[in-house]
Amino acid sequence: NYGVYGHRKMWHAMRRQGWMIGRDQTARLMRVAGLHGVRRGRRPFTTVASKLPDHRPDLVERDFHALAPNELWVADITYVRTVGGFAYTAFITDACTRKIVGWSVASSLTTQALPMIALQQAITTTPAARQSGRLVHHSDRGVQ
């Protein structure tokens, strides 16, 4: 198991091999032998709750359907574990076409620029959005 199995995976593997052993006994034997699974690191913080009330209106009201392109853009941030840590990516997606119209990548969420760079890219690369006058940009009001 290359030292990565915890007691649950080890118990399943032993049962597949025909050993009639209980999960608790597997855990106890592994503990006595000094074996343990790989301990994963902490998950990154992705949402920072604001202490101030948010009085901005919810123009979308949880209806993420658009009848035409460039009527509704939806923003979100995701993260991916890499060898050097986490990579955070902000996306701006057109709700009608499901096309990513803007994005930005950073190595930390300490900067407020990450979602703003993605939004600026979306505005710059989508001339029709600047001319429509009906565009709504929705974010989940998380760390963005």
At residue 1, the pLDDT reads 57
Q: Domain of residue 124: give its range.
A: 41-144
Give per-residue pLDDT as tens, 32-52. Answer: 998 888 777 666 665 565 666
Q: Clarify whether residues 103 and 123 are in a common domain.
A: yes
What is the spatial distance between Cα 69 and Cα 57, in angstroms, rounded to a whole number? 22
Q: Is 0.75 topped by the overall pTM?
A: no
Total count of domains within the chain: 2
**74-125 pLDDT per residue, tens:** 888 888 888 888 888 989 988 888 899 999 998 887 667 888 888 889 888 8
| Band of residue 141 on the pLDDT scale cut at 50, 70, 90 | low
Judge if 131 and 89 occupy the same domain: yes
Residues 7 and 62 in one domain: no
* Strand ordering across the sheet containing 85-94: 100-106, 85-94, 72-82, 136-138
pLDDT score of 144:
44
- Give 129 or 73, the one with higher predicted confidence: 73
Per 3-state DSSP, what percentage of the chain is helix, strand, and coil (rounded to 5)?
30, 20, 50
